[in-house]
Structure 1
Amino acid sequence: MDANREARAIAASLPFDQFSSGLDGSLVTPTDDAYGAARRVWNGMVNEYPAAIAYCESTADVRASVAFAREHDVDLTVRSGGHSVSGASVASGALVVDCSRMEWVRVDPDGRTARVGPGATWGTVDRATQSFGLATPGGVFSDTGVAGLTLGGGTGYLSPKHGFTADNLRSVDVVTGEGERVTAGPDQHSDLFWAARGGGTPGVVTAFEFDLHPLDHDVLYFESWLPVDAASDALRAYREYQGDAPDEACVSPYFAAVPATADFPADRHGEFAFVLSGVYAGDPVAGRDEFAPFIDRADAFAASTDTMAYTDLQTMMDHDFPDGRHYFWKSVPLPELGDDAIDLFADAATNAPSDLSTVVVWPMHGAVERLPDETSPVVGRDAAVVVNVEAAWDDPMATPENVQWVRETCREFRALDSTPGTLPNFAGGSAPDAADVYATHADRLRRVRERYDPAGVFRYERE
């Protein structure tokens, strides 16, 4: 039986009419016209057929959905912002608890905190917090969901200054696998709070509370595009810079194809290039001086600097990640950016089957590395950089070669002196082995899950 027919059979065997009548929100099943769109997520690679999607509008709806799944022994997944690079938020035959309608943000400017609903995206959060000159680290793409990014750790331009997104959590409200509503924080249900700071939860988060930080000025962004054969020299210069980079600086080089626009020489269009790029979260004038060695490189064939509002920075990359494109991402933390790793980068990028793909070097300095490893389940705080291998393609028939490229590239970097584990948001696939992602923290996460979800209602690692 194919996944579509199996989903219909499961839906027909369950009392969904009775269940939906008690929801504040609505239920979509395989026989509904809205089902085709409802089962989709942002990542076009994910093609699952749930038994039903429950659009929750309240915590009561979430509790009712968890109770239904537990009572009828139905697989349960959680979808919030709907990004889901990994695909873990939907599964064939499962009941999807969709929290996208619970999109709200309440900012306390005096206390410098924000309470955020699970359906909010970072664009919503950034607009709300920036209206008070405040911000918290939140990815690099405005359409990313708050829930998925936070529960997978979360890295952004402000991470060197303020840590992972999850490091800025103050508390979470959770509906556990037993249907209990609890608030977890440093002083109550601290084990569940620890898990939520990058390890997901054995439940559904219905509210997040974040610390906010002053950011009442524009920020500086720069790019310098270099030929691939200049990458090794530039990466060595970057390595030296990162040794004592200030917290305000987030320099993240990457390999990508040159866009066919007037901003770049026509004879470079379509070829892979090495890009030095970065954000300075402090005074933009000081940032221009800080980044001068990168901006003013003689071998750059294109370079730019822009001073912009933080909200504009956060939306700048949106057009590069359209809804429905196919994505497969994995990462490898490196304790040092050694010569062997540097030599791998250009080959890895130029061997990509798709010219939409990128290989990104993400810094792990500043506030990220200063927090103790036991602060959260996320590993790699002691890494110098994390290599993100990000495949993107449009043709569904090209899926095998792109997935293979990501996996093989990560294996090559992993064969170097790499740090165990990986960033949860870049783990690859919908159900990676917990030990491969969380390394020595995997057993502690398992114990948290056994305590709050003894029946195993939440069988999937992350939202």
Structure 2
Amino acid sequence: MDASTLEAMRTALRGPVITPQDSGYDKARTVYNAMIDRRPAAVVRCRDAGDVMAAVDFVRDRGLETAVRGGGHSGAGLCLVDDGVTIDLSPMSGVRVDPVTQTAQAGGGATLGDLDHATHAFGLATPTGIMSTTGVAGLTLGGGHGHLTRKYGLTVDNLLSADVVLADGGFVTASEREHADLFWALRGGGGNFGIATSFTFRLHPVHTVALGITLWTLDRIQDVMRWYRAFLPQAPDDLNGFFAVLAVPSGPPFPEEIHGQRMCGVVWCWSGDPDRVEEMLAPVSEAGPPAFHFTAPMPYPAVQTMFDQLIPAGLQWYWRGDLFDRITDDAIDVHARYAEGLPTSLSTMHLYPVDGAAGRVGEDETAWTRRNAVWSGIVGGVDPDPARAETIRQWCVDYWAELHPHSLGGAYVNFLGADEGRDRVRTTYGDHYDRLAAVKRAYDPHNLFHANQNIEPAPAD
């Protein structure tokens, strides 16, 4: 970017424009996944929607490549682009709660921690992900699932409206009443249609929940998975529990004698009466005697932050995912085999429930597809050492390749890798893809916003 272009950009915007010559550049281009090492020509820190509109006009009129950053958690690194402009929403992190209407408006740069902190003061929450450092924007636009999904649905099922800057620099509010086609597409279609500068969510009464962790030795994984697949779908919606393969972290609440051991287990969140959590989890012994079982009442934001230090920013990450309507015996055999070969102490596999309230939403009500899914699975290779990047990537790819035939064929779009190709995006959206492509043509006909799991505009009639 030449000096005159840079000066013009700085004049047009209130927020700082950070370039490779600036001392804060490396920090500005750093994202959650340390495997991503891209060098934008500029990072534009937008202070408000006006800055976003000006930035969009600037990159469009000059034919510059652009990407959009909310929380910077994109595992595929889609929030950065080499030699282009990253439009960074992180200064726009405010959250306003209306306790009367039980709604919250969150800025496009807010994290789940920002949202949870603001809503918890009123004894309210909305279903999101499981790490407080995740950005609200990226999570929401992809669909969003976590500890409250079985009770209150996906994040997009609780989205009431979104303010969006479009590719032509215009600003609209999308809801069921205004720009309804865009609102439909935003609920699961990713960042393809514009830059969402704020989100308004429906809130629910949530204050203290009960956290549970049950672990079994890895030699019991097949018995445990067979029990889990039968138990959870028939459990009350108040009970959420994601299945995991992991190496036990060092530190509380885990006793020292199991630190570092490879195990399988379930992380539970009970959002009903906290005094009933042991009653609800009494059946865990049916899977065999647990090696560890723990429950405790916690403020909901404490549950949301429990993984922040375990898997902080700055690690090497590679992941792939799929949606499943069942856990077959053959799939269990795959899980057992790859769990034995867990390549690093932070690598993992999770199966997140997406049934309950989420499964009762109509297939065509949002862009999120496959409402018949019961689990959203992710295989994640994780390690701090760049020398192990290829090891964790290959383990993940091989694991996913053997598991994929037992899936519904598509994935939670936020769990797609950057290198899976256009056909994988089309397959993920299934019957919704053509409708999404038509919305893309209406709102971004020249595909300005393509640094994402891209949906190409439908051909003009």
TM-score tier by shorter-chain length is: over 0.9
Alignment-mate amino acid for residue 375 of structure 2: V
Cα distance in 1 for residues equivalent to 2:440 and 2:179:
13
Cα contact 1:427–1:437 (8 A) shared by 2: no
Cα distance in 2 for residues equivalent to 1:335 and 1:261:
35
Asked if 1:446 is matched to 2:437, the reply is: yes
Cα contact 1:222–1:278 (8 A) shared by 2: yes
Pick aligned residue for 1:103 from 93, 97, 100: 93
Cα contact 2:346–2:383 (8 A) shared by 1: yes
After TM superposition, the score normalised by the length of structure 2 is 0.94
Cα distance in 1 for residues equivalent to 2:22 and 2:421:
32
Shift of the alpha carbon at 1:263? 5.2
Change (3 A) 1:359 1:456: same
Equivalence for 1:3:
none
Alignment-mate amino acid for residue 356 of structure 1: L
Alignment-mate amino acid for residue 380 of structure 1: R
Cα distance in 2 for residues equivalent to 1:264 and 1:59:
46
Equivalence for 2:26:
36
Equivalence for 2:266:
276
Cα contact 1:380–1:422 (8 A) shared by 2: no
Change (3 A) 1:112 1:265: closer
Instruction: Give the 3-state SS of the residue equivalent to 1:319 in structure 2.
Output: coil
Alignment-mate amino acid for residue 202 of structure 2: D
Asked if 1:230 is matched to 2:223, the reply is: no
Moved more, 142-151 or 328-337: 328-337
Instruction: Give the 3-state SS of the residue equivalent to 1:15 in structure 2.
Output: helix
Change (3 A) 1:59 1:266: closer
Equivalence for 2:125:
135
Change (3 A) 1:412 1:460: same
Cα distance in 2 for residues equivalent to 1:41 and 1:64:
24
Cα contact 1:139–1:155 (8 A) shared by 2: yes
Equivalence for 2:203:
212
Cα contact 1:148–1:462 (8 A) shared by 2: no
Matches within 5 A, 1:228-377: 228-261=218-251, 264=254, 268-294=258-284, 299-377=289-367
Pick aligned residue for 1:423 from 412, 415, 418: 412
Asked if 1:154 is matched to 2:154, the reply is: no
Equivalence for 1:4:
none
Cα distance in 1 for residues equivalent to 2:453 and 2:138:
8
Cα distance in 1 for residues equivalent to 2:98 and 2:205:
13
Instruction: Show structure 1 runs of 5+ residues with no match.
Output: 1-10
Cα contact 2:113–2:301 (8 A) shared by 1: yes
Instruction: Give the 3-state SS of the residue equivalent to 1:374 in structure 2.
Output: coil
Query: RMSD of aligned C-alpha atoms?
Result: 1.8
Shift of the alpha carbon at 1:262? 6.9
Matches within 5 A, 1:15-54: 15-54=5-44
Shift of the alpha carbon at 1:260? 3.6
Cα distance in 1 for residues equivalent to 2:71 and 2:232:
33
Shift of the alpha carbon at 1:455? 2.1
Cα distance in 2 for residues equivalent to 1:392 and 1:255:
13
Change (3 A) 1:264 1:101: closer
Instruction: Give the 3-state SS of the residue equivalent to 1:375 in structure 2.
Output: coil
For 1:21-46, what per-residue CA distance to the aligned partner results, in whole angstroms no more than 9, with x for missing partners? 22111101111111111111111111
Cα distance in 2 for residues equivalent to 1:38 and 1:358:
29
Instruction: Give the 3-state SS of the residue equivalent to 2:92 in structure 1.
Output: coil
Cα distance in 2 for residues equivalent to 1:23 and 1:344:
52
Change (3 A) 1:309 1:400: same
Equivalence for 1:382:
372
Aligned residues: 451
Equivalence for 2:45:
55
Alignment-mate amino acid for residue 138 of structure 1: T
Cα contact 2:73–2:134 (8 A) shared by 1: yes
Cα contact 1:431–1:460 (8 A) shared by 2: no
Instruction: Give the 3-state SS of the residue equivalent to 2:234 in structure 1.
Output: coil
Change (3 A) 1:32 1:219: same
Change (3 A) 1:335 1:392: same
Equivalence for 2:114:
124
Cα contact 1:331–1:423 (8 A) shared by 2: yes
Cα distance in 2 for residues equivalent to 1:291 and 1:239:
15
Change (3 A) 1:431 1:410: closer
Pick aligned residue for 2:60 from 47, 60, 70: 70
Cα distance in 2 for residues equivalent to 1:354 and 1:14:
48
Cα distance in 1 for residues equivalent to 2:119 and 2:18:
33
Cα distance in 2 for residues equivalent to 1:375 and 1:358:
32
Alignment-mate amino acid for residue 104 of structure 1: G
Equivalence for 1:455:
446
Cα contact 2:145–2:154 (8 A) shared by 1: yes
Cα contact 2:227–2:287 (8 A) shared by 1: no
Cα contact 2:74–2:414 (8 A) shared by 1: no
Instruction: Give the 3-state SS of the residue equivalent to 2:58 in structure 1.
Output: helix
Cα contact 1:222–1:295 (8 A) shared by 2: no
Q: What's the % identity of the aligned pairs?
A: 37
After TM superposition, the score normalised by the length of structure 1 is 0.93
Shift of the alpha carbon at 1:295? 6.5
Cα distance in 2 for residues equivalent to 1:432 and 1:292:
44
Change (3 A) 1:67 1:214: same
Cα contact 2:277–2:295 (8 A) shared by 1: no
Alignment-mate amino acid for residue 205 of structure 2: P
Shift of the alpha carbon at 1:449? 1.4
